[in-house]
Amino acid sequence: MSLCEGVTFSTICREWRGKWSEDADKASLVAVNKLFNETFLPTIKSLEGFEKVQRIVCGGCHDWKFVIQFKSENYPEMVAGEEPFLAAAEAIEGITSIETQTYTIDEL
Sheet containing 50-58: give its strands across: 50-58, 63-71, 11-19, 96-104
Q: Does residue 3 form part of some domain?
A: no
pLDDT (tens digit per residue) in 37-88 = 999 999 999 988 999 999 999 999 999 999 999 998 887 777 777 899 999 9
Kindly list the distances between the CA atom of residue 18 and the CA atoms of 13, 51, 65, 100, 105, in Å, as whole numbers in the listed order.
16, 23, 7, 9, 21
Neighbouring C-beta atoms of residue 27, cutoff 10 Å? 15
Is 103 a domain residue? Answer: no
Number of domains in the chain: 1
pTM of the model: 0.91
pLDDT in tens, 8-46: 899 999 999 999 999 999 999 999 999 999 999 999 999
Note whether residue 70 is domain-resident: yes
Q: Is residue 54 part of a domain?
A: yes
